[in-house]
């Protein structure tokens, strides 16, 4: 089971980090280049709930398989991995059940990003929430990459 657990753990880390990379670096920019801002925002807004849920599920499954992946559960690398997975899980839960719903709510109050002035209070509120989401997304990506590195170079 340890080999199977280790394989599934690595696979989930790859899906987690690859999914974040694909959505952040490829899908979202392509959508915003192909469509006007309001339509692109609407498309990405429809994708966000599924994206955040995808991240939550892959993080949760990786957390579960972490314990099958490490035969020695006492080393620094294992403890660091546990901390990183717990941080990722907390971020994924927060983005799914708090941040994303607030972003969606504020976004629905803005009739048009193209016609609403950048200094409008709702645009400022959305920009703040979006910045928080972007930072947390990058942390989740870096967290996943760090877990891949720990698994690859420190497994016992």
* 122-140 pLDDT, tens digit each: 999 999 999 999 999 999 9
Q: What is the pLDDT of residues 25-64, one digit of tens each?
A: 999 999 999 999 999 999 999 999 999 999 999 999 999 9
What's the CA gap between 11 and 110, in Å, rounded? Answer: 40
Q: At what angle do helices 121-154 and 76-94 cross, to 10 degrees?
A: 160
- Other CB atoms within a 10 A radius of the CB of residue 134 amount to 11
Angle separating helix axes 121-154 and 37-69, nearest 10 degrees = 30
Enter the pTM of the model: 0.92
Cα separation, 12 vs 140, whole angstroms: 13
pLDDT band at 154 (very low <50, low <70, confident <90, very high): confident
Report pLDDT for 70: 75
Q: Quick one: tokens of 40? A: 């692109």
**How confident is the model over 13-29, as a mean pLDDT?**
97
- Residue 97, phi then psi, degrees to nearest 5: -105, -5
């Amino acid at each position: 089971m340890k080999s199977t657990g280790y394989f599934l753990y690595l696979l989930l880390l790859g899906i987690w980090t690859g999914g974040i990379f694909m959505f952040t670096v490829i899908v979202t920019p392509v959508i915003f280049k192909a469509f006007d801002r309001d339509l692109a925002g609407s498309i990405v807004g429809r994708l966000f709930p599924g994206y955040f849920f995808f991240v939550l599920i892959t993080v949760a499954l990786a957390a579960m398989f972490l314990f099958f992946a490490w035969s020695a559960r006492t080393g620094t690398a294992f403890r660091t991995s546990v901390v990183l997975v717990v941080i990722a899980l907390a971020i994924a839960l927060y983005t799914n059940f708090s941040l994303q719903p607030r972003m969606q709510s504020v976004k629905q109050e803005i009739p048009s990003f193209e016609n609403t002035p950048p200094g409008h209070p709702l645009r400022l509120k959305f920009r703040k929430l979006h910045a928080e989401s972007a930072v947390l997304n990058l942390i989740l990506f870096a967290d996943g990459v760090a877990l891949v590195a720990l698994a690859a170079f420190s497994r016992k």
